[in-house]
Structure 1
């Protein structure tokens, strides 16, 4: 592990670009921020800071499996929450009353940019004397209760790989400025040393991806990766490897013991950034407001369609309009057929989280939701559409005859 005495390229050597990034987000949130190489890295640091090993963390079962492994790596027990079928957000009222007294923290997801009910969760956490941690990877620019997502919790983690499109970087934002220094030191100790080779690969990657798209080779490239065994997922979820996971638990809390799970899709998740990487991240961040405005336009269009989830006035921004969602989860009856139709038209669908984490990991590694039906229904029917490609996606859905799915009512409805 790195120490606080960072050499060239370390935190002290990269302080100017790193500090500039932190100041940019601090201006947006009104909170102290620590730049981190990824959202998952920042989440691990937050969990270790606020939660003693052996604690229990309430979280959403419709989430990236990487987040489950981050919680396990921190030496904590994931507790899956009941969800609302209409949008996949945590159903606060459906959490059993006896569960609140057993928790060490609550972790929101803000799935696709739809905010979880942070005001209600904040009140429950205050009553229980536990921290609220916000995963805002999908939700930079979203708000709830008149405040930005990320401004409700004791801490919040953001990704710059989503709206910003930087393919690297994130932030850990904290409510109490006095905690910033300790968190920065903790992150420093967890960072892997800088890698000129990784920085070069990071610089070349956008050009390689653009060439693949221009030549129409995207599907051939993925087929080649699968043939060579270089993909890390089987379908949507990565292989659980329960025997290996049980062995890793003996070392927890330990990020390195869980590295083979936590690094999936982002091997540089704990890599100390060099100037080349940080400079590019900063340039992408400068364009954030432009991207969010385009997302709002696409989101408004998608939410006006028959496949849109039911409107929820309580989750709209105070100034009106739609959230600048990272993806809009349209509700489609035959979701898999729609995915195939979109893929044939060069619109691949990502960020699917099916099955829910309690069905995926089982009771050996997580406490299952007390009312799993709504999460199963949402995970099976949600079709996350990029609002920046809204018009093209809608044409495909109309042409393939996709039928809307209607969300069941009640926390235990459908799919149980």
Structure 2
């Protein structure tokens, strides 16, 4: 990762823990941080755990990236930091955000969980901010681990100490469960028992999400806020979907992460080929510049529920949905709403994030189902593409191997 980014990198058990470490270092409690409202709610709770007030940014309706032109000047003046999302790998306008942060004297932090292979203005995403966090649960499919990348290499020791202070001792049962999980999941898919397994979890009360968003539990959340900054106070929200997010990694986790990271360029080439295939469909929003190896390709469809059901019948799972936007989900009790929410609401409702490794099959299923593309309303705030220079929108990473056809089968995230 040092070679890939040209920055000092620190291994962390999860992207969310790395983000908490960064927020605690760069942001004083009580500060306000601009972030995307179309984002995983876990990240929202990590921001709250760090003692910060989330401020929801306006988004472009075509790709879900932060629309800097729609952020009022008065809002910029009250911020303590900016946090990018790079949703599905589509890069937020980091050069513009970097300039705004420099002018305001505040840090830029990059969430690059979905964007380990994305390049913007000739630089990898994660190379613009004071710090960036990466996930190995996404493109590599390791299901554990991540990196905290630092602009200032002198901070590595201090950040490692902050990380270590938050770690919980590793547990043998958790390590064994991690080792067995891929085989168990493959067996369930092979026997077509995935649905039955999920039903059993719901019956036993072990499923943490019954909807796209986890339960907010506002009264408990208000009590937790009185203890912030504190990761312990927010643990029941921060651990959802990954209870090992702060465990000391065992040798099995580290070996698997190292092995899969060693095949990253091969995986990125497959994602790039699948992305190119999906961007050629009628459901993809036109975008200038070369394709990126996206983690998921957000197709824009009129009836997402019907499209999701059609894909599910062919065992193609649609995940990583973030609807409703965080300001509608949490309300102004816990976040400042976006000054221009229409773009985020429209994108969150119509985005169908498709795994590019299933591109050919997914495109065929959607075509047979008669899926209609969504048309953006005139009121959705988007910038004209001509206002953004093509070089700012990114280039394919030069280290990638030549694109090859996408693999069949689930990517596993």
| Pairwise same-fold verdict (TM > 0.5) | yes
User: SS of 2:91's equivalent?
Assistant: coil
**Per-residue Cα deviation, 1:193-225 (whole angstroms, up to 9, x for no partner):** 111111111111111111111111111111111
Select 2:340's aligned residue among 358, 371, 375: 371
User: SS of 1:58's equivalent?
Assistant: strand
In the TM superposition, residue 310 of structure 1 has moved relative to its aligned partner by 2.1
In the TM superposition, residue 407 of structure 1 has moved relative to its aligned partner by 2.5
User: SS of 1:35's equivalent?
Assistant: strand
Structure 2 residues without counterparts, runs of 5 or longer: 383-413
* Contact 1:107 1:133 (C-alpha < 8 Å) held by counterparts: yes
In the TM superposition, residue 244 of structure 1 has moved relative to its aligned partner by 0.2
Select 1:386's aligned residue among 350, 355, 372: 355
Q: Which residue of 2 aligns with 1:136?
A: 112
* Contact 1:82 1:411 (C-alpha < 8 Å) held by counterparts: no
Whether 1:87 aligns to 2:63 is yes
Distance 2:252 2:339 in 1: 47
Q: Which residue of 1 aligns with 2:227?
A: 251
Q: Which residue of 2 aligns with 1:218?
A: 194
Q: Which residue of 2 aligns with 1:325?
A: 294
Whether 1:176 aligns to 2:152 is yes
* Contact 1:79 1:369 (C-alpha < 8 Å) held by counterparts: yes
Give runs of aligned pairs for residues 116-155 of structure 1, distance below 5 A.
116-155=92-131
* Contact 1:373 1:412 (C-alpha < 8 Å) held by counterparts: yes
Whether 1:64 aligns to 2:33 is no
Q: Which residue of 1 aligns with 2:329?
A: 360
**Per-residue Cα deviation, 1:306-351 (whole angstroms, up to 9, x for no partner):** 000121x2xx4xxxx3100000000000011100111111011000
User: SS of 1:72's equivalent?
Assistant: helix
User: SS of 2:59's equivalent?
Assistant: coil
Whether 1:349 aligns to 2:318 is yes
After superposition, the Cα gap between the structure-2 partners of 1:166 and 1:137, relative to the gap in structure 1 and judged at 3 Å, is same
Give runs of aligned pairs for residues 194-273 of structure 1, distance below 5 A.
194-273=170-249
User: SS of 1:401's equivalent?
Assistant: coil
Q: Which residue of 1 aligns with 2:89?
A: 113
Distance 2:95 2:377 in 1: 25
Distance 1:176 1:100 in 2: 25
User: SS of 2:186's equivalent?
Assistant: helix
Whether 1:49 aligns to 2:18 is no
Structure 1 residues without counterparts, runs of 5 or longer: 1-24
TM-score by length of structure 1 reads 0.91
Distance 1:137 1:39 in 2: 7
Q: Which residue of 1 aligns with 2:406?
A: none
* Contact 2:318 2:353 (C-alpha < 8 Å) held by counterparts: yes
Paired residues, number: 382
**Per-residue Cα deviation, 1:137-186 (whole angstroms, up to 9, x for no partner):** 00001011111000000000000000010000000000011111111100
Select 1:74's aligned residue among 39, 42, 50: 50
In the TM superposition, residue 115 of structure 1 has moved relative to its aligned partner by 0.3
Alignment root-mean-square deviation, CA? 0.9
Distance 1:409 1:68 in 2: 30
Distance 1:101 1:92 in 2: 14
Distance 1:179 1:96 in 2: 33
**Per-residue Cα deviation, 1:84-128 (whole angstroms, up to 9, x for no partner):** 000000000100101111111000000000000000000000000
* Contact 1:374 1:408 (C-alpha < 8 Å) held by counterparts: no
Distance 1:60 1:409 in 2: 22
User: SS of 1:93's equivalent?
Assistant: helix
Moved more, 57-66 or 194-203: 194-203
